[in-house]
Amino acid sequence: MSETPYRFGRGASRFATRNPARPGRLAGDYGADDPASVQEAVARAARAFRDWRARPAAQRAERVAVWLDRLAQRAEEIARAIVLEQGKPLGEARGEFAKALAEARFMVSQALHQGSREVGAARQGTRNLVLRRARGVVAALTPWNFPILTPLRKIVPSLVAGNTVVLKPSELTPAAAWLAADAAAGILPEGALEIVLGGRDAGEALIRAPGLCGVTFTGSVATGRAIGAIAGSNLLEQNLELGGKNGVIVAASADPGSAAAQIAHAAFLCSGQRCTAISRAIVHVSHWNAFVAGMQAAITAAKLGDGLDPTTTLGPLVSASHRDRVAAMVDQASREGAQLIAGGGPARPQGCEDGYFFQPTLLRAAPHMVCAREEIFGPVVTLLPYTEWDEALAILNGTDYGLAAALFSRDSAEVERFLNEAEAGMLFVNQGTVPDNHMPFVGTKVSGVGPGSVGPSALAFATTEHAVYLSTGNIA
């Protein structure tokens, strides 16, 4: 089925997106914003902020809820946009939209819980209050792997707290975010949600624009460092959700078959292009053969293809350059001595021979190898055997990342040590790394800066804290 390319954006400079499963097909033709138009978007958001923050919190929540209801009516349109630009199977795209909406509605429900609280006073005739107030204009920069989930994850907490938002989605997958912003017309005040399009230049112009009060970003550690340097020079509040090299320990007490099935799902969902994807499996030697067999069975069952094909279970990588980067890291692993167990290179499924596919890959490696320490962001799992628990925990924590970690074990002492010692923001026991809609999404080490982007703590970035000392004696 042919699709009409998306045509969005104000700028005269054009850029295109293509279907990563069928790169010969144009997905979108966009106008990139120049620095002047980016500053104009920030200025519009600043003007809208004065009215938006003055509205009662319940009214803001109601307006955002109406917008989400309108988005729900466009669910299939947005899901198809995700498939055409990002490549994931349609079922995954629908699931992404459903999760995005559930998270967003939870954050709306939190809007009325951000008000003042009273603290015991130290002086007679005085009341001490702690207020939380809207921050101002927030810049949100989002990645290509979750084109609707991540934008809503940043927009909704900011809006319900009383901020206005300027969103720059990835130049690889802007359609879903544009459609979401378009759906806000007539519901949110003009300027409350602005969207700018383009690549690195547009993103840098946004971070440097006068009038910003905070920057929230999801993406790679390298880009996060660059954004942090610019934002830090302007003393902007930052919320950075960065990469992961997520490990799972399959302990001696675990069921290796059950663990393999759940880990394969967590590893290969979104073709491994997921910051919480499991990319390292640290397996007790007694389970090695059974676990490898379970992972190979999951790979054999995978069906690579166009995301709009209902039989597809594994879509392409997002671009040729990203596929080549994944291939280069697998090749480097082989040069360092890693054993290739399955996959290992590009794939050419029938009908999508030119697509950016990569075979689901298993590597047996040592902890010091790059494939065991650095984020690959593809359908590649590094397998590492262990014999003693302390060894497993050391391997798990032996990276600079700290986003998610998992353990499959029936041993309560191992579970307790994992919960106390695993160096990650999100900890999963006897399940894959798919977070709930109301829980903090947060990383440690280089995987995160600032509070979680989901959950009750998300409003901590969206608001500023104020200490109030109220002398009651002279108030009529």
Closest CA to 258 of 379, 406, 371: 406
- Cα separation, 427 vs 419, in Å, equals 7
**What H or E segment, with its residue span, contains residue 70?**
helix 57-73
Closest CA to 337 of 380, 304, 366: 366
Give the DSSP letter of residue 272.
G
Q: Residues with Cβ < 8 Å from 328, sequence gap 6 or more?
A: none
- The catalytic residues are 275
Distances (CA, A) of 383 to 247, 402, 470: 10, 18, 60
**Buried/exposed 325-364: b ≥16 CB within 10 Å, e otherwise:** ebbebbeebeeeebeebbbbebbebeebeebbbbbbbbbb
**DSSP secondary structure of 335-366:** HTTPEEEE--SEE--TT-TTS-EE--EEEE--
Token pair for 90: 């349609």
In one-letter notation, the amino acid at residue 234 is: N
Q: Residues with Cβ < 8 Å from 213, sequence gap 6 or more?
A: 135, 136, 137, 138, 163, 236, 237
Distances (CA, A) of 458 to 132, 156, 193, 284, 404: 13, 10, 18, 37, 18
Token pair for 227: 């954004």
**What H or E segment, with its residue span, contains residue 309?**
none
Torsion of Cα atoms, 19 then 22 then 24 then 27, to 10°: -20
Closest CA to 282 of 400, 370, 398, 434: 398
End-to-end CA distance of the chain: 71
- Cα separation, 15 vs 400, in Å, equals 35
Backbone conformation region of residue 426, classed left if phi is above 0, alpha if psi is from -120 to 50, else beta:
beta
- Cα separation, 193 vs 468, in Å, equals 31
Residue found by looking up tokens 């979104």 in the block: 270
Closest CA to 435 of 461, 454, 459: 454
